[in-house]
Amino acid sequence: SDATAAIAELRTHYLTLAATIILAACGIVGVLTHRLTYSIRALTRIARSDAVKAEDLAAALERPDEVGQLAVAFAGLVGRMEKKTREVTQRADEIAELNRTLENRVLERTHELSESRARAQTIIDHAIDGIVTTDESGIILSCNPAAEQVLGYAAAAAIGTPFADVISVPWSSRSFDVACAPDKPFEALSVREDGTSTPLSMAVAPIVIADRPVRLVMFRDISDQRALDGEIERYFSELQAQTVRL
């Protein structure tokens, strides 16, 4: 019985020693695991944060082992990413400012063009000379009030009409063609709807409006000038006749 008791006591001693060793080993493993995974967990925690800062990462991962080196490398990567993000943000701000400047310039230029067109249209509308624009085939595109008065056609009726239908030239038997008009002023006749005609002094110039080639036709009524020329001619004829009689 004494031997049995000794064996049982020895067994209990060994079991206690084994349990102590196992617990110690578990504790050591836990500590080692904690130390080995600390940097990785810190990396994960910092990486998941809303604002990753390289200085916080480096301060949290000051270790000389391989995991610490990984942390330093990751910190460098974060720093480069932050620098790149700042550069991209700065560039985006610069582009946005350039866009605002360009938009303002476009608005200013559009306003200037609108004012310029309004001034040009006002000048055309109040010009004493008739001004007509036609396409290259001679179809009337626009005419000012003076042109309406000289030609005897309202703008609504004239637009879309061949210019050759309202103009004739005594020096040609063919229909008037704006594309073949002389490059210097010449005389022509306006043909009114009532059949009457008016002598005109006319000039044609090719221009471009909104990237579209057109013909600018300017003319004025020279009826008064013709009448004055006739009076002067009669005066000199009478003067010559009186000189001969003397």
Query: In this structure, are residues 43 and 71 in contact, taking their beta carbons and an 8 Å threshold?
Result: yes
- Answer whether 159's CB lies under 8 Å from 140's CB: yes
**Residue 82: pLDDT band by 50, 70, 90 thresholds?**
confident
Name the pairing type of β-strands 130-134 and 212-221: antiparallel
pLDDT tens across 212-234, in order?
899 999 999 998 888 887 888 88
**Hey, is 212 helix, strand or coil?**
strand
In terms of Cα–Cα distance, which of 193, 237, 235, 202 is closest to 221?
A: 202
The pTM score is 0.53
CA 220 to chain centre: 42
Q: What is the pLDDT of residue 106?
A: 92
pLDDT tens track for 146-198:
999 888 888 888 899 888 888 877 665 566 777 677 778 888 888 877 778 88
3-state secondary structure of 101: helix
